Structures are given as structure tokens and as C-alpha cells.
């Protein structure tokens, strides 16, 4: 299972959306947030779908208290986050402020034991400041993978891997060098 997760991480990093969205952003999917029945893995999947729908798509930040353990830890290339649900609320609030129309779509989820991997795609328009960059009004589309570890029905740990490079290129924060023809041999 972990080999599959590693493969998905590599593919999601290599296959980005650096050219930006090619179609209009989707509408947030309708998610059934009723109490799940079934195996613990099914319950974990339902909880994570609810997290993306309620916290990210609708801005109901207090739902993070129901999803994340009080000692929750986030591992992120962007640096450390405050522990517990409050750390997740701060992250979601900041991103939603920069992209108030954002839509998280869960592309797929895979669960094994106490781990769950979810690949997602974000669509949104930057109408607020982000990482020191003023609002650009530009649309973005990029993907990432979150790996969640559960303990007693709540997320206790999260590894976040997202395509920040693609987002930054789409917003004009950085410019990639042009790739030309390779040098010809004399």
C-alpha cells in the first residue's frame, strides 16, 4: 500500500497543472455528511470528505474540531503549523481569504489500516493576498495529496504534498525558464 502512496506522490508532483485551468472551475460536489456506517476505513473516508466539503469548500472552520485530535500534527513543506484543530483552522482561513471561491474536489481516496491518502484538486481565483503577493485576480488549478493518520476516530497526523510550483507559476509569482532546442554539435 505504501508503495502505491509513494507512486501517487511522484505522479502528482510530475503531472501538475502549470499551464492553468483549461475549463471553467467546477462547482463543489454535493457531499453526504450523514454519519457513516461500515468499516473504520469507510468512516475515515467519510470524515475526510466532510473535512474537504465543510472546512475548505464552505468555510465552516469549526468542523475542524470534530475532525482533528487536540494533539494533531501537520507535516508541510510550507513550514510548521500550530498544533491541533486551531492550526488547521488558521491554514484554511488564510487560503480561503486568498481564494474565497475555491473548490476542493477529491479525486480519489485510498485507505489501509490507520492511514488514508486523498488526492485533491483545487480551483479558485486569487482575490486576496497570499504569501506576500497582492491579489492578482488570476484563476488557479493545482493538485496535491494529503496522507492522514487516524487515532480514535480523529486525524492525529497529516502529511501535505501539493504542487506549489504550479500555483506560483499560474499566479505570476515566479517564471520558469523557457526551454529551447538543445545545443547542436559542431
CATH number at residue 20: 3.10.450.50
Lowest-confidence pick of 36-45, 80-89, 119-128, 131-140 = 36-45
State the total domains in the chain: 1
Q: Considering the entire predicted model, what is its pTM?
A: 0.77
The answer to whether 138 touches 17, Cβ cutoff 8 Å, is: no
pLDDT of residue 25: 54
pLDDT of residue 19: 47
Long-range CB pairs of 42-49, under 8 A, 24+ apart, other chains included:
43/153, 44/111, 44/116, 44/148, 44/150, 45/109, 45/111, 45/116, 47/153, 47/155, 48/106, 48/109, 48/116, 48/118, 48/146, 48/148, 48/155, 49/106, 49/109
Classify residue 55: in a domain, yes or no: yes
Classify residue 139: in a domain, yes or no: yes
Classify residue 180: in a domain, yes or no: no
Q: What is the pLDDT of residues 91-127, one digit of tens each?
A: 999 999 999 999 999 999 999 999 999 999 999 999 9
Confidence category of residue 30, pLDDT binned at 50, 70, 90: low
Boundaries of domain holding 141: 2-170
Amino acid at each position: 500500500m505504501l508503495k502505491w502512496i509513494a507512486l501517487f506522490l511522484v505522479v502528482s508532483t510530475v503531472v501538475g497543472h502549470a499551464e492553468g485551468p483549461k475549463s471553467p472551475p467546477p462547482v463543489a460536489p454535493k457531499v453526504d455528511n450523514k454519519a457513516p456506517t461500515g468499516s473504520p476505513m469507510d468512516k475515515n473516508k467519510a470524515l475526510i470528505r466532510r473535512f474537504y466539503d465543510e472546512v475548505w469548500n464552505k468555510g465552516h472552520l469549526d468542523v475542524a474540531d470534530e475532525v482533528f485530535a487536540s494533539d494533531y500534527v501537520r507535516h508541510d513543506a510550507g513550514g510548521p503549523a500550530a498544533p491541533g484543530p486551531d492550526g488547521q483552522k488558521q491554514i484554511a482561513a488564510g487560503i480561503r481569504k486568498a481564494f474565497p471561491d475555491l473548490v476542493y474536489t477529491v479525486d480519489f481516496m485510498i485507505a489501509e489500516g490507520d492511514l488514508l491518502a486523498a488526492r485533491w484538486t483545487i480551483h479558485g481565483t486569487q482575490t486576496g493576498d497570499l504569501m506576500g503577493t497582492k491579489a492578482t485576480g488570476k484563476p488557479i488549478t493545482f493538485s496535491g495529496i494529503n496522507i492522514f493518520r487516524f487515532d480514535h476516530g480523529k486525524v492525529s497526523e497529516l502529511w501535505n504534498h501539493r504542487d506549489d510550483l504550479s500555483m506560483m507559476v499560474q499566479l505570476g509569482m515566479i517564471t520558469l525558464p523557457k526551454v529551447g532546442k538543445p545545443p547542436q554539435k559542431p
